[in-house]
Amino acid sequence: MPVAAYAVASDTGRRRLRNEDNYVVAPPLFAVADGMGGAQAGEVASRLAASALEGGDSDRLQGLERLDALIQEANRRIYDRATTDP
């Protein structure tokens, strides 16, 4: 069986002091949630998105349907947080 190797890296860039990016490494799912430095609570949205992708409850679905469900859940969590937490 072939062995797959992967790595992750993220960078704050030239203007930011903190890195607001989060990532998911859960083969076969690999994702980057960009913290959108400078946007209000970008790091919170990034963390919520990554969490939804990692712990999504869509195991009954496969392929693109599963990915769509995970993204919808991430969006719902971010929207709920944005509308309840100033």
Mean pLDDT of 65-85: 92
Could you tell me which residue, 4 or 70, shows the higher pLDDT?
A: 70
Q: Which of 33, 32, 55, 45 is nearest to 77 (CA)?
A: 45
Residue 8 lies in a domain: no
Domain span holding position 53: 22-84
Backbone φ and ψ for 10, nearest 5 degrees, come out as -145, 155
Q: What's the rounded Cα separation, in Å, for the pair 76 and 19?
A: 23
Would you state the pLDDT for residue 58? Answer: 63
**What are the E-state strand segments in 1-86?**
22-26, 29-33
Q: What's the rounded Cα separation, in Å, for the pair 31 and 49?
A: 10
Residue 28 lies in a domain: yes
Would you state the pLDDT for residue 37? Answer: 65
Domain count, the chain: 1
Q: Which of 31, 38, 35, 37 is nearest to 78 (CA)?
A: 35
Would you state the pLDDT for residue 74? Answer: 94
Q: What's the rounded Cα separation, in Å, for the pair 7 and 24?
A: 11
Q: What is the pLDDT of residues 12-69, one digit of tens each?
A: 778 777 888 899 998 888 999 988 766 678 889 999 999 999 887 666 788 899 899 9
